[in-house]
Amino acid sequence: MPELPEVETVRRVLEGSIVNRKIEDVIVKYPPIISDDSDTFKKNVIGKKIVSMSRLGKFLIFNLENGNIISHLRMEGKYFYLKKNELDNKHIHVKFIFDNGYELLYQDVRKFGRICYKENNDLYSTKPLKDVGIDLILNKEFDYRNIYDKILSRAMAIKTVLLDQSIIAGLGNIYVDEVLFKSSVNPHKKSNELTFDEVKRIVDNTISILSKAIEYKGTTIRSYTSSLGVSGGYQDFLMVHTKTVCPTCKNELIKDRINGRSTYYCKYCQR
Ligand SMILES: [Zn+2]
């Protein structure tokens, strides 16, 4: 599942290929992928030029000359930028056709991904981006105390709180396990029992782990590659996720489930 580093990798590749291209047509083969009415969506985006690519948490944002397309890849969403008609299959649900003979294809085997259009004024003030918490890679002006207060206001397993996106954005199942291991915090620990120092370590390690993962173009495990010909290299740096032995104390790692998500941690190093 793409998390912040994988989405940032997609953003960077798309920035190099589709910025300044005009969308000449949009073909929606599977309408539920578009959260809006698909005819309205087409009316809003056809004829517009893409001026930049941005991101917030795990959301990709195509900034148009007027308006924006927001895309969330969820479990398996991928983009392919190819010459027109070079590729088609039943998992390709949306096609953006450009003025240069190329097209951007959205493929999603699980069909969980969503694409929508937002006017500039509504972009950050309405769903889905309004509910996205702080993106620690984009926002360096954050306040540790503010994040600590928000985390303390919940009474759930810290892993659940971090997966929720509404306090800290961008972490998914892989990087949450890595951040909590590096921060010596047990993923089951209730968020309202965390100390300020533990929250500060979680914030600092989120920044360092996500930054390094971006540098290595994300993590490639199981079927997920970020498409566009990029496969990540951060899997070589994973400490606990998918592992069996603690790299610090050499005891066997615990593998269990939190909120239905497979969770790896060391019960000796993470308290
Ligand atoms: Zn350990």
Q: Is 58 a catalytic residue?
A: yes
Residue 216 has pLDDT above 80, yes or no: yes
Give the separation between CA 207 and CA 239, rounded to whole angstroms: 16
- The confidence score (pLDDT) of residue 226 equals 52
d(CA 26, CA 248): 51
Q: How far is the CA of 245 from the centre of ligand 1 (A)?
A: 8
* pLDDT at res. 1: 81
Q: Is the separation of the CB atoms in 8 and 55 below 8 Å? A: yes
Question: Is residue 40 over pLDDT 60?
Answer: yes
Cα(250) to centroid of ligand 1, in Å? 6
Pairwise CA distance, residues 169 & 172, whole Å? 9
Determine the distance separating the centroid of ligand 1 and the alpha carbon of 265, expressed in angstroms.
Answer: 8
- On the question of pLDDT at 196 being above 60, the answer is yes
Q: Which residues lie below 8 Å from residue 160, measured CB to CB, with a gap of 6+?
A: 258, 259
- Per-residue pLDDT of 157-177, as tens digits, reads 999 999 999 999 999 999 999
pLDDT in tens, 51-68: 999 999 999 999 999 999
Q: Is 154 a catalytic residue?
A: no
Q: What is the mean pLDDT of residues 20-44?
A: 97
Establish whether 5 is a catalytic residue.
Answer: no
d(CA 267, ligand 1 centre) in Å: 7
CA 252 / ligand 1 centre spacing (Å): 8
Catalytic residue among 2, 103, 182, 187: 2
Architecture in CATH of 4-131: Alpha-Beta Barrel (3.20)
DSSP letter for each residue of 65-98: SSSEEEEE-TTT-EEEEEETTS---TTEEEEEEE
The pLDDT of residue 202 is 98
Closest by alpha carbon to 167, among 149, 179, 185? 149
92 CA to middle of ligand 1, Å? 43
Query: 26 C-alpha to center of ligand 1: Å?
Result: 51
Confidence (pLDDT) at 220 = 82
What digits encode the pLDDT tens for the residues 101-152? 999 999 999 999 999 999 999 999 999 999 999 999 999 999 999 999 999 9
pLDDT band at 82 (very low <50, low <70, confident <90, very high): very high
Catalytic residue among 11, 58, 114, 159: 58
Strand 68-72 and strand 92-98: the pairing is unpaired
At 219-249, the pLDDT tens digits run 987 544 555 767 899 999 999 999 999 999 9
Measured between alpha carbons, how far is 158 from 185 in angstroms, rounded to an integer?
A: 9
Q: How far is the CA of 195 from the centre of ligand 1 (A)?
A: 20
In whole angstroms, what is the distance from residue 177 CA to residue 225 CA? 20
**Model-level pTM?**
0.95
Cα 93 vs. chain centroid, distance in angstroms? Answer: 20
The catalytic position among 3, 6, 103, 178 is 3
Helices 196-215 and 173-182: crossing angle in degrees, nearest 10, is 130
Spans of all domains in the chain: 4-131, 144-265
Give me the torsion for CA of 110, 261, 155, 6, rounded to 10°. Answer: -60
Q: How far is CA 237 from the centre of its chain?
A: 19
Percent of the chain with pLDDT over 70: 97
Q: How far is the CA of 231 from the centre of ligand 1 (A)?
A: 30
Considering the segment(s) 144-265 as one domain, its CATH architecture is Orthogonal Bundle (1.10)
Q: Active-site residue among 111, 243, 255, 261? A: 261
- State yes or no: is 178 an active-site residue: no
Q: Tell how far the Cα of 116 is from the centroid of ligand 1, in angstroms.
A: 44
